[in-house]
Amino acid sequence: MDLQTRVNMDARVARAQPEALDEIQRADYNPEYRIDLERVRFSPYFSRLSAVTQVISQAGASPLIHNRLTHSLKVTAVSRAIAVAVDNGLVGTTSALSPQHSPGGCDAVVVQAAASAHDLGHPPFGHLGENVLNRIARDTLGLADGFEGNAQTYRILTALDVCDGATQGLNLTAAVRTAVSKYPWTPAMEGLDLGEAHGPGLPRGLKRVDGEVVARKYSAYFLEQDDLEEARRSAPGLAPWEQSLECSVMDIADDIAYSIHDVDDFYRAGILSQVAVSREFKGWLENATELRLLAAPELELAGVRNHAGEGLEALRRRIHRDDPWIADDDAFAEAVRVVSDDLVEGLLSTVFDGSIAAERRLSTFTSTWIAHFERSIVPAPPDTPRTGIVTLDTRAWHEVKVLKFVHKHFILNRPDIAMYQRGLSQVLVGLVSAFTEWLDDDHDRKRVPRRLIEMVDLATDGYQRLAAERPYLVEDTGQAHLRRLGRGRGVIDYVASLSDGQAIAVAEALNGRTDRLWDIGQSL
């Protein structure tokens, strides 16, 4: 059965349940959660996302490609559709979603607020910026909790952003703060019991390095640890690593949107080669048995792969290694076939030329896949730390992995993109270095941007409280060291709050080269 046929069948099932759809229209109005949603959407940090790269910049491709704002809006739409289905019993069995996970069901407004907020912490230049700032924070500035986009989001919501009636932060409800926390721990992982009784595998975001568990992703810095713990106490039934139901819905919606609109972007930009992608998919489908016999080192060697299909075979093995709870070779093979038919031999067989016909083909592809994924949500198996409370069914889960593979394998490793990203990384390195030196300049410190000074003061106050309440998280509780930490965190907060264009313009100004001096001055 092809993808479109399955989606049509799902739609007929939905139309056959008018009572459930009526309930959707009569959803309860919760003013506190509505206020949360409005505060996020009226935030300047939310508006800034329109000028922050998703994967490739608009200047380098087309003004129609996704940025962090359009991505967040689409995640919000997908997550609301899933939340409504969950709350109305249209997902799996209602017994699998116990009340302890979300008293009163899955609140669609909480989900929308979390989806709108989930990318606020992304710095300039997408995931590249996140990696560069993390390295600088740890290796240069001595911040043990580094930089992480999810943790920066939580810091914005609870400390950096402002609203009427709160001394700092947006004063959001515990439900929304919990729903934003996809990785509900800090790098210290305090209270995170990962005993064998919790099933095989580590929660996503954690990994083992030389036998030690390390937090690769986390939802709060040490400074916001108390706030995160307080928020999660509102849902006492959650395991220490477990997402709330609303968070789980938002997280899976993020995966769905990401897997589809990256393909959309690269198809529009004309940089997805149908020949190259077809060769990889056909190579795996025709030679899967032989590829399985390859030794692991042969698949992991750097450089150009020797055989078509090796990338997909490496993906299949990673799924078995990281996610044995759902890994299924038959589902993987079917996912490869479906994506090959619909994307490789379907959408990519015709070049995107900007015509109405091309837009219609792309719209059909996108809407069909999203509708399919929205109706593939099922309760997750119990005691599985690798997934949230809800997940995709086995086949759809593998389809998302295969769709993500396309952009990771054929786009992110391109030499031209790598070259451009290396240049952007130097912009961020230069910004952090220049602002740090300026703050240390006794002769010119008075002219440092006021907002940067405020961020440094806020961070310094935070480290002083941390030293008093949790001194074991601070290497040295001396005032000089706490001021250095505050300066480092404040500079990182400031640079991370810039848009792509602002970061480049400010870097040029700091090097004495700019034709936008008065423009950038108003935003500092």
pLDDT range class, residue 166, cuts 50, 70, 90: confident
Highest mean pLDDT among 172-181, 295-304, 499-508: 172-181
pLDDT tens readout for residues 201-217: 789 999 888 878 899 99
Instruction: Kindly list the distances between the CA atom of residue 104 and the CA atoms of 28, 86, 99, 387, in Å, as whole numbers in the listed order.
Output: 11, 12, 7, 22
Which residues pair with residue 208 across a beta bridge? 213
- The predicted pLDDT at position 87 comes to 87
Q: What is the DSSP string of 389-450?
A: SEEE-HHHHHHHHHHHHHHHHHTTT-HHHHHHHHHHHHHHHHHHHHHHHHHT-TTTGGGS-H
Cα dihedral across residues 281, 265, 128, 42: positive or negative: negative
Given a cut of 80, is residue 58 above it in pLDDT?
A: no
Given a cut of 50, is residue 143 above it in pLDDT?
A: yes
Query: How many Cα atoms within 13 Å fall on the side-chain side of residue 61?
Result: 24
The least confident of 23-27, 212-216, 231-235 is: 23-27
- The predicted pLDDT at position 286 comes to 94
- Written as six digits, the tokens of 490 are 């404040």
CA–CA gap between residue 57 and residue 494 (Å, rounded): 21
CA–CA gap between residue 390 and residue 460 (Å, rounded): 40
Which of 107, 136, 139, 134 is CA-nearest to residue 121? Answer: 134
- The predicted pLDDT at position 159 comes to 97
CA–CA gap between residue 434 and residue 131 (Å, rounded): 19
CA–CA gap between residue 256 and residue 82 (Å, rounded): 11
The least confident of 57-61, 75-79, 132-136, 154-158 is: 57-61
- Matching residue, tokens 């030679």: 287
Cα dihedral across residues 42, 367, 334, 376: positive or negative: positive
- The predicted pLDDT at position 19 comes to 42
- The predicted pLDDT at position 72 comes to 94
Segment 35-55 shows an average pLDDT of: 91
Segment 33-40 shows an average pLDDT of: 95
261 and 281 Cβ atoms separated by less than 8 Å: no
Angle at 219 between CA 215 and CA 224, to 5 degrees: 110
- Number of Cβ atoms within 10 Å of the Cβ of 208: 9
The least confident of 84-93, 129-138, 325-334, 356-365 is: 84-93
Given a cut of 60, is residue 98 above it in pLDDT?
A: no
306 and 93 Cβ atoms separated by less than 8 Å: no
Q: In a 10 Å sphere around its CB, with 0-12 CB exposed, 13-18 middle and 19+ buried, how is residue 435 labelled? A: buried
Segment 489-513 shows an average pLDDT of: 92
- The predicted pLDDT at position 423 comes to 86
